[in-house]
Chains A and B, each alone.
Chain A
Amino acid sequence: MRFDLKLAARFLLAGKTQTGLIFVGIAIGVAVLIFLTFLISGLGDDIIDRTIGNSPHITITREDQPLQFAQRSFNGRPVIPEDASRTTRETIDEWQYIVRGLENDRRIKSVVPVADGPGFILRGDLEEAVAIRGMDLEAADGIYDISTRIVNGSPDLVAGTILIGVTLAEKIKAGPGDAVQIRLMGEDPESYLIGGIFDLGVETLNQRWVLMNRERAAFLLGFENGVNVIEAQVNEVFQSQYVAAEWKHLLPRFQIDSWEEANRQLLVGLQSQESSSYTIQFFVLLAITLAVSSVLAISAIQRSKQIGILKAMGIRTRRIGRVFLLQGAVLGFAGSLLGSLLGVGLLYFFVSVSRTADGDPIVPITLTVTGISAIVLITTAAGTLAAYFPARRSAKLDPIEVIRDG
């Protein structure tokens, strides 16, 4: 093997220009491969993060008649709460057991029991329909990261204090320390103090959500310290439908939904993006493979005399083939290493020049050693594969023909 490697290296070094050009060619191909792969992957991750990064991946409620509330009216207008399907559901009496079970599932990273229902917020003459969300702030941070998204005031949810979104605050012209009233349909209003204003980055939530202590919300909604929704986030976002299906099997009386089922269009978009990435990767690899193959085919012809005499001197046929496979592997490996450096450099350059007004990268890119190693490995394999036909051709060379033809 050492001699075969030495032969391969000498054959490559003998054609310096040829080897240099293909080496640079592979490096550029791999650089493009790394740049596009991580860019597209970063874009995909960013879209997922923006879309579901701060949303529940799995939602558990009781099965019931979801449109019951929507049929009601207020001041002659139909009232369709933020999430009508949820607000009508009965409480989950055994929620503590379910939460404990979910927390013990290694695939699940955050669980938030929620007392959730529709209501109205009043300040002076101003009144807005809202979604009352009672949750423990610490648990809620696992999904919504509320504590770090308080733009005004403090993130405390002590009894009698609420947090509202920036849009709602503007609408009712209120801020931290201001008193407001909250009432349910047909019930007397109760007074609360605004503790803080949050910005969750989603207009609907900023406009509709009123966050309060879970026990307080349960009391207000008449749930007797229960909850009617359990929300959870999984570690692997694309596993949520399988995790949901398994829990559905364990809790057949409950409605268990995953984000994937509710976001088919987004999934199709992400899959299309992934497919385009694979297509680009395939064609770049194909170009590398063809380039290596053609260069080695020429090399095989150029070295036919050497191959002939080596065979006459007793080198076995498969070792000649191996010399060419090694050339392909060396080209693929060395070219992909240089290409990786170029690609990473290109990504750093891209990230440093394309930033938002806040100075954050437009596309957050996470480089992984595993990803780069995989590309190096695949390119090396492609280079080796590309050498297969030149290797076969060389191995078949008859030394007598070489000796006869001089």
Chain B
Amino acid sequence: MVNLLVKTSNLVKDYVKPTRLRVLHGIDMELERGSFASLIGSSGSGKSTLLHLLGALDRPTEGEVIIDSVNVNQLTDDELSDFRNLKVGFIFQFHYLLPEFSVLENVLIPNLIHSDTEVPEVRQRATELLDYVGVGHILDKNAGNISGGEQQRTAIARAFINQPKLILADEPTGNLDSVNSDKVLDLLRKINNELGTTILLVTHDKTLAEKTDRIIEIKDGRIIADTIQNNKQSNFVTK
């Protein structure tokens, strides 16, 4: 029996400014729990828009997004915020660490948003996560004073601190050199394998996408291809 984490039905997104523009044309997509998939497409194909809808950052014009059995469309703004905080982890091309905080504090922020006060167990988990991603030696360094690779690793640790069901990685290696890109991708693969977290990687880099288990290709707001990689057992469903 297929164990779905994400399901979208007839997902449509229009932008009305400056002119009315349909960016997504009825996307139907499903992601199985524990899968590591990539979403590829050229610039303007609608992949980032789809990612924002899947991450509950935006609301669709039509259709619905169901994540972990929750219809995201029906949530209020506050509920959406809480949903993002607890169920989704984001990794962006630009790490967006808060330079006013240390590496460890940055990782703790999603949990502090939820619990308001620092929980010792979470602090321990954050330390372990930073060790896991290979930046455990710079816990107390200011996030603005570490290298790009270290910043992205810290951002990855931050995405996992609340143990979300889904990780959305938007061009996470787009700002890194090839060595660091490989390291980040290996790290995501390792996390997927060991923690079983569902990861959707958005990229325009086909070579990078080929390192994931499944490639969903989007063009002009429509899914045009959905491919399993490396002869892995199917962990996705297409319609």
Contact = CB atoms under 8 A, between A and B. Distances in A.
A310 B100 contact: no
B57 A314 contact: no
Nearest to A6: B112
Contacts of B100: 10-11, 13-14, 306
Interface stretch (A140-148, A202-210, A396-404): A396-404
A315 B113 contact: yes
Contacts of B82: 314, 316
A68 B125 CA distance: 99
Interface in B29-77: 48, 52, 55, 57-58, 77
Nearest to A403: B92
Contacts of B217: none
B209 interface: no
A109 interface: no
Interface in B101-140: 101, 109-110, 112-114, 116-117
Given A305-B96, A315-B113, A399 B101 contact: no
Contact of B96 (A3, A308, A314, A404): A308
A2 B110 contact: no
Interface of A is mostly: helix
B192 interface: no
Interface in A1-54: 1-3, 6, 10-11, 13-14
Contacts of A400: 52, 57-58
A1 B116 contact: yes
A406 interface: yes
B78 interface: yes
Interface stretch (B83-91, B146-154, B183-191): B83-91
Contact of A399 (B57, B98, B114): B57
B101 A10 contact: yes
A310 B109 contact: yes
Contacts of B158: 313
A400 B77 CA distance: 15
Contacts of A2: 116-117
Contacts, number: 73
Nearest to B58: A400
Nearest to A405: B94
A313 B167 CA distance: 12
A288 B55 CA distance: 41
A399 B96 CA distance: 11
A403 B170 contact: yes
Given A10-B100, A305-B96, A314-B110, A3 B117 contact: yes
Contacts of B77: 316-317
B58 A313 contact: no
A157 B85 CA distance: 87
Contacts of B96: 305-306, 308-309, 312, 402-403
A316 B57 contact: no
A392 interface: no
A316 B81 contact: yes
A285 to B, nearest CB: 30
B170 to A, nearest CB: 7
Contact of B98 (A13, A309, A317, A406): A309
Contact of B85 (A11, A305, A314, A403): A314
Nearest to A402: B96
Contacts of B90: 312-313
Contacts of A306: 96, 98, 100
A149 interface: no
Contacts of A314: 81-86, 110, 113-114
B160 to A, nearest CB: 12
Given A3-B113, A313-B113, A315-B113, A404 B85 contact: no
Interface string A258-278: 000000000000000000000
A13 to B, nearest CB: 7
A306 B90 CA distance: 14
A330 to B, nearest CB: 15
Contact of A313 (B84, B99, B170): B84
Interface in A292-323: 305-306, 308-317, 319
A259 B127 CA distance: 76
A317 B83 CA distance: 14
A317 B81 CA distance: 8
A52 B77 CA distance: 64
Given A314-B85, A317-B81, A404-B48, A3 B112 contact: yes
Interface in A229-271: none
A188 to B, nearest CB: 93
Interface string A165-208: 00000000000000000000000000000000000000000000
Nearest to B80: A314
Contacts of B101: 10
B181 interface: no
Given A309-B92, A317-B77, A400-B58, 18 more contacts: A1-B116, A3-B112, A6-B112, A10-B98, A10-B100, A10-B101, A308-B96, A312-B90, A312-B96, A313-B110, A314-B81, A315-B85, A315-B113, A319-B113, A399-B57, A403-B92, A403-B170, A404-B48
10 contacts: A305-B96, A306-B98, A312-B90, A313-B85, A314-B84, A314-B113, A314-B114, A315-B85, A316-B77, A406-B93
Please provide the 3 A-B residue pairs with the shortest distance between their CB atoms, ordered closest to farther: A314-B85, A309-B96, A10-B100
